[in-house]
Amino acid sequence: MKHATDTPPIQPWIYHGSPFEKAPAKTYGFVYQITNALTGVRYIGKKAFFYDVKRKRKRVQLESNWRTYFGSCKELTADVARFGPKAFAREILLLVPTKTAATYEETAALFQADVLRAKLPDGTPAYYNRCIGGRIFKTQ
């Protein structure tokens, strides 16, 4: 029988070389990179620390799942399931103050890394990312 403690451990988010454990005040979220240590393939994305919900005519802020998050990419999450979360390094590239800044900085990081064209030495794609901003897609 499986227990909650049977879940494989997750590598902590790393920020400036140290484990990152607490969301700073007045910070919306972060831009991150996840690297598959076995294949070298990476993923760049953004994540919010909190989200708002409406409860009895009052807005309440709840913590998101950022501590255990592995991105929204189907290929990445499939590899996490296949190789286990310990096989992935999770790095916070940049803390951002607003949702708009998160979108801008994520898009800038995606273009700077050339995620749609970058290749590993064996010719396979270097990034799990297959589109930028939901509008610019990788061609076959």
Give the global pTM: 0.87
Alpha-carbon distance 46 to 31, whole Å?
A: 4
Q: Please write the tens of the pLDDT for every residue from 28-75.
A: 999 999 999 999 999 999 999 999 888 888 888 899 999 999 988 999
| Most confident by average pLDDT, 9-13, 58-62, 124-128, 135-139 | 124-128
What residue segments make up the domains of the chain, in order of their start?
4-113
Strands (E), the chain: 13-15, 18-20, 29-36, 42-48, 50-55, 58-63, 88-96, 131-132, 136-137
Among 3.90.1010, 3.40.1440, 2.40.50, 3.30.1380, name the CATH number for the domain at 4-113: 3.40.1440
Residue 113's contacts (CB-CB under 8 Å, 6 or more residues apart) are 42, 44, 127
Structure tokens at 13: 């988010």
Q: What is the pLDDT of residue 52?
A: 86
Out of 3-12, 47-56, 75-84, 96-105, pick the least confident.
Answer: 3-12
Of residues 52, 54, 48, the one with CA closest to residue 98: 48
Alpha-carbon distance 82 to 30, whole Å?
A: 26
Mean pLDDT of the region 121-132: 95
**Residue type for position 10:** I
pLDDT at 5 over 50: no
